[in-house]
A and B are shown apart, each in its own frame.
Chain A
């Protein structure tokens, strides 16, 4: 079968699927076809490349470990002119809490509260309601507190292929060098009590 026809089949499968479609399902469906040298992931890349041009307003993206057609971000404004769209928004506290859960999962409510310095009960509930986070188990601690983690929906909402596709916590390196600096400061500086900046 010609490559065009194969990519066309994949296109229909992804288009018809409501959720991001996993490669293994495409492979299952197309297992009856002898692909020869070609592979499904390779064909998907070919298909994806076809949408890259300026002429197309949609693109093929890998989210939540599957493939989905989505509109290109530069056209978001136009879609918002359609009244049918309810723009989704997350408040700053929600985003912050979500970031903590995303990077630190599995994490307990107490740990989240500690990082944020405020009670996070309400925000956690909102995130649970929005299905961006879920309870993924319990921690072996007194009281067996629940631990939270992110969901499949989270990956879909943030257009992430999988959890490792999150932007790197940039300052992990900075942090360690910062800690070194802190240690250096401690040794170099006079003892805190005699510190000039802190005199009454």
Chain B
């Protein structure tokens, strides 16, 4: 045999997650969600997970978290009732039941939203060029994280001569810096990376700034371009 059977992987997206699977099992077995027979459902759930493993389906770790939760509830339900009947005992299933109900609500809500008249599916405005799909409109070379780090390093090198002889109490947080950058960029539309720093800066300022820029890039709230090698890195708001 040339082929490696264990390389065979199936990715099933029938269940969006463990909660979805649990809801399915509850419905299929016509169980009462307000009174889940934990032992029974745990068994069913684990059987299903086993099945998926046999099929070599990649399992998200979250499936195992819920499996553990189920087992924990099952164990707690086996603990004998408190001797004092007055004492209020919370049903160990309550939290999971609430989560399932909450999840079901949003599944229903998603279904309802899907029934709305969706733009470019059910209804169209004039002109067809637009689509909710994010379009890549970049024309210039896109600088990547590596280029940013190179720029970062060159600024660090420039800061080398600086002797830090004092402790700055006032420190800008990454979040603040993100806000600053977004504010500046929304006014100026585009700014050069180097100008983001205050006139006198410390290493801390640089670190905060690079973190802020990386975070904004990751969230795609800004784009970053470099027109030529070692040129200025421009940051701007994506169109």
Contacts and interface: CB of A to CB of B under 8 A. Distances in A.
Interface string A162-188: 000011011100010010011001100
Interface in A84-100: 84-90, 92-93, 95-96, 98-100
Interface stretch (B109-117, B164-172, B186-194, B206-214): B109-117
Given A86-B120, A88-B121, A169-B109, A131 B81 contact: no
Given A86-B120, A118-B18, A191 B219 contact: no
Interface string B133-150: 110000000000000000
Contact of B119 (A92, A157, A195): A157
A193 interface: yes
Interface stretch (A5-13, A23-31, A47-55, A66-74): A66-74
A103 B81 contact: no
A185 B34 contact: yes
A92 B16 contact: yes
A182 B113 contact: no
A61 to B, nearest CB: 8
Interface string B191-233: 0000000000000000000000000000111000000000000
Nearest to A130: B132
Contacts of B155: none
Interface string A93-137: 101101110110000000000111111000001001111100100
A146 B91 CA distance: 34
Given A71-B124, A76-B121, A132-B132, A175 B109 contact: no
Contacts of A37: none
B44 to A, nearest CB: 13
B122 A73 contact: yes
A194 interface: yes
A152 to B, nearest CB: 12
B132 A198 contact: no
A153 interface: yes
A175 to B, nearest CB: 6
A118 B62 contact: yes
Contacts of B106: 96, 99-100, 103, 115-116
A69 B126 contact: yes
Given A71-B124, A116-B16, A178-B34, A198 B91 contact: no
Contacts of B18: 117-118
Given A88-B118, A88-B131, A92-B110, A70 B124 contact: yes
A74 to B, nearest CB: 9
Given A118-B16, A159-B116, 8 more contacts: A90-B114, A135-B219, A157-B119, A159-B118, A175-B105, A186-B91, A197-B37, A198-B39
Interface of B: 16-20, 34-35, 37-40, 60, 62, 66, 77-81, 89, 91-94, 97, 99, 101-103, 105-110, 112-114, 116-128, 131-134, 173, 175, 219-221
Which A-B residue pairs are the 6 nearest by beta carbons? A118-B17, A117-B19, A129-B134, A197-B37, A191-B81, A99-B110
20 contacts: A15-B126, A70-B119, A70-B125, A73-B122, A76-B121, A76-B122, A96-B110, A98-B110, A103-B109, A115-B99, A117-B62, A117-B103, A119-B60, A146-B219, A158-B119, A171-B108, A182-B94, A192-B77, A197-B37, A198-B40
